[in-house]
Structure 1
Amino acid sequence: MDNELFTTEFFSQFNLDTGQWVWVLVCALCIGMSKAGISGLGMFVVPVFASVFGAKESTGVILPMLIMADIFAVIYYNRHANLKLLKKLFLATVAGVFIAIWVGDMINDQQFRILLAVVVILGVIIMIWHETKKSSDAIPDNWFFGSTAGLLGGFTTMIGNAAGPVMSIYFLALHLKKNNFIGTAAWFFLLVNIFKVPFHVTIWHTITWNTFLFNLSMLPIILLGVFLGIKIVKLIPEKPYRIFIIVTVTLAALKLFF
């Protein structure tokens, strides 16, 4: 009985209605599935969580959940990672994170919502461009492009955990094979996400002990998402799926403006 009372009090502190809880569970499932190879779902989670928890607060709620899923991705694809490549991105990515910390600390929540929506929509534009271009040969892979990608990746991942499209384009430019692509990206996001944690705790105050316990409560759903992602990633027609993701992410991001 005491355990039931504790559970009820714990979850009630987040003041979420039934519909919001459904969205949270769906997003936790999507986080696991996205790390298992169903790319695009991660972008869907960002604006939905922002609507439920608030723009800035949601970045800290999502982050530990992403790290949990990143750990699995690293374990599964570790042998394919190109860790030397990540060294080239380090300084630019760190700079992008620090710029985002400063910007996020200077603006109010409404401005943060707008900035987050812009970041997500830009990510969608990159996804659309990626889908419609005929060849990756036109993508530069020089030092300037790499530094720009690292800077934008660091900024967008800190502002909204939305660096997926930017970094995908960069890794695509390097002509990485599929497993190398997934493994290298897995390590990049795990390291960057862990690096961000202290700033969310001490500067933005978006990660607390209670939010972390909330994240742990979502772990079974995330693991279920990982399992489902592995099973169904090859069963979903790629083009219709990606069109669906682009449309839903765009609509969710537009909602942040209102």
Structure 2
Amino acid sequence: MPPFALLGLSLPDLTLLALAAALLGLSKTAVPGAATITVAVFAAVLPARASTGVLLVLLILGDLFAVWTYRAHADWPVLRRLVPAVLAGVALGTLFLAVAGDTTVRRVIGVILLLLVAVTFVRRARARPAARERPGGAGRFETSSYGALAGFTTMVANAGGPVMSLYLLAAGFSMSRFLGTTAWFFFAVNVAKAPFSVSLGLISLESLQLDLLLAPAIVIGALAGRPLARRIDQRLFDRLVLALTVLSAAYLLMA
């Protein structure tokens, strides 16, 4: 019997998960924000709670590629200022996962995805003015707010990317600082989340078996990311990401 059948997955299920994993790898090295589709697909194919544990290991693998690619561009003072708020958000997300049922988690993931789409539109509308008005970086209140929201969303739905994107753009980051800081931030946060996920039973031997099957897709997506990004229409791709994310979130809310 094929390994994926032993995990209760059909071949179409595994194929869909592999495509979503490849997109996750792509998002880590080329197209930030595309991972929201991966979150929705995993929560639709797998039980919503279990999907967060499977995704976390794959995210860490993708983070390793991102850190290697942009390792020299992180803004460490900004990362240090974010730590307390992010940890508070992760702790709140852990408490939520401990008491919430699978249906509730699925609905919350759907709502979070819709909110993050709205955040993305706000980011686009305010990106240029923010970069001009706030070249020195965001204030303490904004840092705490964004950090806590990023910690909560990444713990509950592995979907903190758009929140961090809005924060870093509001702080007036250049592209290289943006990519480097994001890479190190999510690598550190995802590694820190692992013990919480293990304690909640979200990471198990079975979830690790599925991660092993999907790991090659992450590698392929991450390696293909940078050369592919230079050849596609970024604006069109972003619109497709937003549209598919809205559809995925709607599915999760109605399922």
Q: Is the 8 A contact 1:128 1:246 kept in 2?
A: no
Offset at residue 216 of structure 1 (A): 2.3
Q: Give the whole-Å Cα distance in 2 for the aligned partners of 1:57 and 1:211.
A: 8
Secondary structure at 2:253 match in 1: coil
**In the alignment, which residue of structure 2 is the partner of 1:63?**
56
Quick one: which amino acid aligns to residue 102 of structure 1?
L
Select which of 175, 182, 194 maps to 1:178: 175
Q: Please say if 1:238 is aligned against 2:234.
A: yes
TM-score if structure 1 supplies the norm length? 0.93
Secondary structure at 2:138 match in 1: coil
Quick one: which amino acid aligns to residue 143 of structure 2?
G
Q: Is the 8 A contact 1:96 1:150 kept in 2?
A: yes
**In the alignment, which residue of structure 2 is the partner of 1:79?**
72
Quick one: which amino acid aligns to residue 205 of structure 1?
G
Q: Is the 8 A contact 1:157 1:163 kept in 2?
A: yes
Offset at residue 138 of structure 1 (A): 6.2
Q: Please say if 1:49 is aligned against 2:42.
A: yes
Q: Is the 8 A contact 1:201 1:207 kept in 2?
A: yes
**In the alignment, which residue of structure 1 is the partner of 2:152?**
155
Q: Give the whole-Å Cα distance in 2 for the aligned partners of 1:183 and 1:39.
A: 12
Select which of 143, 146, 157 maps to 1:146: 143
Quick one: which amino acid aligns to residue 82 of structure 1?
D
Residue correspondences, number: 250
Offset at residue 103 of structure 1 (A): 1.3
Secondary structure at 2:231 match in 1: coil
Q: Give the whole-Å Cα distance in 2 for the aligned partners of 1:226 and 1:106.
A: 35
Q: Is the 8 A contact 2:34 2:241 kept in 1?
A: yes
Map residues 1-258 of structure 1 onto 2, 5 A cutoff: 8=2, 10-133=3-126, 135-136=129-130, 137=132, 141-202=138-199, 204-258=200-254
Q: Give the whole-Å Cα distance in 1 for the aligned partners of 2:77 and 2:138.
A: 15
Q: Is the 8 A contact 1:32 1:69 kept in 2?
A: yes
Offset at residue 13 of structure 1 (A): 2.2
Q: Give the whole-Å Cα distance in 2 for the aligned partners of 1:69 and 1:175.
A: 25
Q: Give the whole-Å Cα distance in 1 for the aligned partners of 2:58 and 2:69.
A: 17
Q: Give the whole-Å Cα distance in 1 for the aligned partners of 2:222 and 2:22.
A: 8
Deviates more, 1:78-87 or 1:126-135: 126-135
Q: Is the 8 A contact 2:75 2:180 kept in 1?
A: yes
Note the alpha carbon deviations across 1:179-218, whole angstroms, 9 max, x for none: 111011000000000000111111x211112211321222
Offset at residue 18 of structure 1 (A): 2.6
Q: Give the whole-Å Cα distance in 1 for the aligned partners of 2:125 and 2:226.
A: 26
Percent identical among aligned pairs is 32
Question: What are the ranges of 5 or more consecutive residues in structure 1 without an aligned counterpart?
Answer: none
Question: What are the ranges of 5 or more consecutive residues in structure 2 without an aligned counterpart?
Answer: none
Q: Give the whole-Å Cα distance in 2 for the aligned partners of 1:33 and 1:231.
A: 10
